[in-house]
Structure 1
């Protein structure tokens, strides 16, 4: 639709309102409904949005350690703009118009801590170098036959899975709650988040969906909208969906793998593919992979942002622990799929479903571009067996604290993403670690209450 057609749709929509959403640092969509009249003014002149979305955590507790915003500056409104190109109709809200926005500085420049703006910065670096990135994300998540109230009443213990048993790739289980299953596929497509496929994953009430690939900014928009849309569609079926990386020590974790490739500026040639190479991989792709392997330990919080993320990154749980790559190998950090010129791509398997898609994709692309810019050579051999056992190139940091300290001290992270972003983001992850240290868990009660 043209800009004029979009504005006309908004004017004529009978609800008289528009939904605006912004991504915070954790990848949670924050927003509001505004009147049609207000939106038409905002679309032309911009708006303000409270800076607290970068000053508090997932539980709305304000950080006490950040310099970008806080009590010291009074949490002012930050300038914001609406991207009309993100227009969507929400099919489960009577096709109410919806738009994504992004935060600016008072000088009208992109905010250095706005996740969507960070991705656009790295995308510009790629475009300037003559590359067009195509990306897609896939998610695994658990579904429960609960409501927010019932889950609270149970204190999130003993929740009822949507379906019992493991049943990965089950045609049988996908028919058990078929109305929800079909709603996800059909409503997401109408919402502008088309899926390549959806299936049950191993685990009680677990689904996996692969979002159709696109240009990287659209791919990240689709991914962040996907997570909230799934939760909202689930509500309509008295279901709760969770994208936690690990919900139970005895069950597999939930991945949020990112697929990626670089094409030429005309988007006509996949620059990752080389038919003459034994692995069908171009030198550019090999440098891109080398860059990610080099940067991974220094930017891991962008892939694994929560305390819970690191419960997933354990041996034998379908998530990587080592700095490895391989061809069609699901035990490594970087899985190469190089079969054809059209589909040749890299799958980064480190990130869980709890990730902020903007930050994860910015990290993938930024690290890959760094490898290309530095002409890094992929000297590390591909893993042909169990990637968990190959520690020759190192292992991933094992906790959010360790990963955050590496990123905080990384000159490479600051070079790729900017000092202001790295400072603010690592401060928020240090806060997250501190909150975890204060909590007394069920595990501690079971282990120490009687015997100590």
Structure 2
């Protein structure tokens, strides 16, 4: 029993059996904050009934962006399908386990500031339109060596390149242990390999429903960091940790399933590209809204140092059936596997919020019956500025401030995130930008201190 366990298997009775069989002593009751940072309250396993009833309370005023101090009591309602024993906790026959939770108000209603609840609302809107959402995220990360105090250095753990094996790829053993740990927690792993940059890696897991995919992404980041630390390494999901090297992305594959027809809503074998009208409308919705939600899918000052020409990052707003230089592409698989891949999100994004805005933007295109622009099959990275302008290919926002301005100018962000998360998110990110804006960087001192 583990992440993405079916609801039939994830009964309280079955969970209690696992707790007894695995001698689980502690339960970590987890949730995420607005930035997607994992938090948890730990209780003893003999409190499982109390936990399952959603009676574990915490102080919401202690979580940035959650609750004011005069309305601070919040409750954690576990999703039983996310129960998992933690493989690294097994010691002397005892172990620990966890649940991922949604956050509730004292009256039992959904707390508006919970990112998991934001995504659940988007999933419900899709269901009301007759669709279920499937998402398969691909999260890249770097492995860095640590110093004598355990703090990360800028030295990568290996010097290998794309798809290189050992002996150049010293990360194989780390990835193998990550794979084994994820598998024990219920993941289906599809591929594992060294990425383009030195010290950069990717482990791909099977797609899931939108909420399940966000749970998987959250768990994946936690497991990767935990396992890396056991090897004396630091795993970083920072979008651009090394200047002059490729950054890390979270390519997001998304498809809609027509509930009534019981088929992939993006597939049409009669079309030249075997894409349905709904698929084209979904693509058009992403393109029409992308500038207004990129502050959510690319949330850091550092995110926009990845989205620049020259490092295979998708910084141009265009789509293609196969061209990887486009922001949106359609992987070759057709039939039930037909999907749209948006390539700009990065792994620092809160997956619940990122998947919510991506899905909402695409659904907006279907609702408004938008027409997708002309496909760009040529290599966009090789185009000159004048050619880009002539073909009407625009850039994504160039920094976090511009992205936040666009988020405020559009409607998709506020409608999807809701007033609470939208307002708190903007305040948090404006503060982050202001802190960066007034900082004096090493680049400035190196270039100006002696010159002027």
* TM-score relative to the length of structure 1: 0.90
- Return the match for 1:86 from 55, 69, 82: 82
Distance 1:52 1:136, change over 3 A: farther
Distance 1:349 1:293, change over 3 A: same
Distance 1:412 1:236, change over 3 A: closer
- The answer to whether the Cα contact below 8 Å between 1:24 and 1:53 also exists between their aligned partners in 2 is no
- The answer to whether the Cα contact below 8 Å between 1:408 and 1:423 also exists between their aligned partners in 2 is no
Residue aligning to 2:273: 279
Distance 1:228 1:47, change over 3 A: same
Report 1:339-378 matches (<5 A). Answer: 339-378=333-372
Aligned residue pair count: 432
Residue aligning to 1:418: 418
Indicate yes or no: 2:316 matched with 1:322.
yes
- Partner Cα separation in structure 2 for residue 192 and residue 179 of structure 1: 20
Residue aligning to 1:183: 177
> Once the 2 structures are TM-superposed, how far is the Cα of residue 183 of structure 1 from its aligned partner?
0.7
What does the per-residue CA deviation read over 1:154-184, in whole Å, with 9 as the maximum and x for residues that have no partner? xx4xx331112x4211123576444322111
Distance 1:141 1:109, change over 3 A: same
Residue aligning to 2:4: none
Report 1:141-180 matches (<5 A). Answer: 141-146=141-146, 149-151=149-151, 156=153, 159-164=154-159, 166-173=160-167, 176-180=170-174
Residue aligning to 1:443: 443
- Partner Cα separation in structure 1 for residue 105 and residue 38 of structure 2: 20
Indicate yes or no: 2:253 matched with 1:253.
no
- Partner Cα separation in structure 2 for residue 53 and residue 367 of structure 1: 32
Residue aligning to 1:48: 57
> Once the 2 structures are TM-superposed, how far is the Cα of residue 75 of structure 1 from its aligned partner?
7.2
> Once the 2 structures are TM-superposed, how far is the Cα of residue 394 of structure 1 from its aligned partner?
2.6
- Partner Cα separation in structure 1 for residue 261 and residue 135 of structure 2: 13
- Return the match for 1:262 from 256, 271, 284: 256
- Partner Cα separation in structure 2 for residue 169 and residue 116 of structure 1: 35
- The answer to whether the Cα contact below 8 Å between 1:137 and 1:256 also exists between their aligned partners in 2 is yes
- Partner Cα separation in structure 2 for residue 301 and residue 148 of structure 1: 36
Residue aligning to 2:45: 36
- Partner Cα separation in structure 2 for residue 32 and residue 424 of structure 1: 23
What does the per-residue CA deviation read over 1:215-248, in whole Å, with 9 as the maximum and x for residues that have no partner? 1111111011101110001111111110000012
- The answer to whether the Cα contact below 8 Å between 1:147 and 1:240 also exists between their aligned partners in 2 is no
Q: Give 3-state SS (helix, strand or coil) of 1:319's partner.
A: coil
- The answer to whether the Cα contact below 8 Å between 1:174 and 1:199 also exists between their aligned partners in 2 is no
Deviation larger for 388-397 or 26-35: 388-397
- Partner Cα separation in structure 2 for residue 359 and residue 174 of structure 1: 37
- The answer to whether the Cα contact below 8 Å between 2:150 and 2:232 also exists between their aligned partners in 1 is no
Indicate yes or no: 2:238 matched with 1:244.
yes
- The answer to whether the Cα contact below 8 Å between 2:317 and 2:394 also exists between their aligned partners in 1 is yes
Residue aligning to 2:73: 77
* TM-score relative to the length of structure 2: 0.90
> Once the 2 structures are TM-superposed, how far is the Cα of residue 32 of structure 1 from its aligned partner?
2.8
- Partner Cα separation in structure 2 for residue 233 and residue 18 of structure 1: 19
- Partner Cα separation in structure 2 for residue 142 and residue 124 of structure 1: 35
- Partner Cα separation in structure 2 for residue 248 and residue 372 of structure 1: 39
- Partner Cα separation in structure 2 for residue 148 and residue 271 of structure 1: 54
- When the two chains are superposed, the root-mean-square deviation of aligned CA atoms in Å is 2.1
- The answer to whether the Cα contact below 8 Å between 2:255 and 2:266 also exists between their aligned partners in 1 is yes
- Partner Cα separation in structure 1 for residue 311 and residue 411 of structure 2: 32
Q: Give 3-state SS (helix, strand or coil) of 2:151's partner.
A: helix
Structure 1 residue ranges (4+ consecutive) displaced by more than 3 angstroms after TM superposition: 173-178, 388-391
- The answer to whether the Cα contact below 8 Å between 1:134 and 1:262 also exists between their aligned partners in 2 is yes
Residue aligning to 2:3: none
